[in-house]
């Protein structure tokens, strides 16, 4: 597949949608996609998804209670168990 950005090796990427604005954006990872991490771990929470979506923002986004504002549309690349 050979997804590469600069010198950083991209092993997976996740398409996130901001449900408030409808805007979608890819977040690239140097590690394989992990269902656990994105559905139950740190990356399941809006506080982190907000940072991935708006990397230049200084805002500390609150953790979601219930439904996430940022949802995964799809992912690509390598996957870990
Ligand atoms: Zn959180």
| Percent of all residues in the chain with a pLDDT value above 90, rounded to a whole number | 84
pTM for the structure as a whole: 0.86
Q: What is the C-alpha to C-alpha distance for residues 10 and 62, in angstroms, rounded to an integer? A: 28
CA of 49 to the centre of ligand 1 (A): 9
Q: Measured in whole angstroms, how far is the alpha carbon of residue 33 from the centre of its chain?
A: 10
Q: Which residues is 23 bridged to in the sheet?
A: none
Mean pLDDT of the chain: 92
Rounded CA separation 16/12 (Å): 13
**Residues surrounding ion ligand 1 at CB below 5 Å:** 45, 47, 63
Q: How far is the CA of 53 from the centre of ligand 1 (A)?
A: 14
According to DSSP H, which parts of the chain are helical? 35-39, 46-53
Q: Where are the alpha helices (DSSP H) in 9-67?
A: 35-39, 46-53
């Amino acid at each position: 597949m050979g997804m590469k950005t600069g010198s950083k090796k991209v092993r997976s990427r996740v398409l996130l949608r901001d449900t408030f604005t409808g805007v979608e954006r890819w977040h690239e990872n140097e590690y394989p996609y992990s269902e656990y991490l994105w559905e139950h771990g740190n990356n399941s929470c809006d506080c982190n998804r907000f940072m991935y979506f708006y990397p230049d923002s200084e805002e500390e986004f609150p953790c979601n209670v219930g439904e996430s504002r940022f949802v995964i549309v799809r992912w690509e690349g390598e996957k870990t168990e």
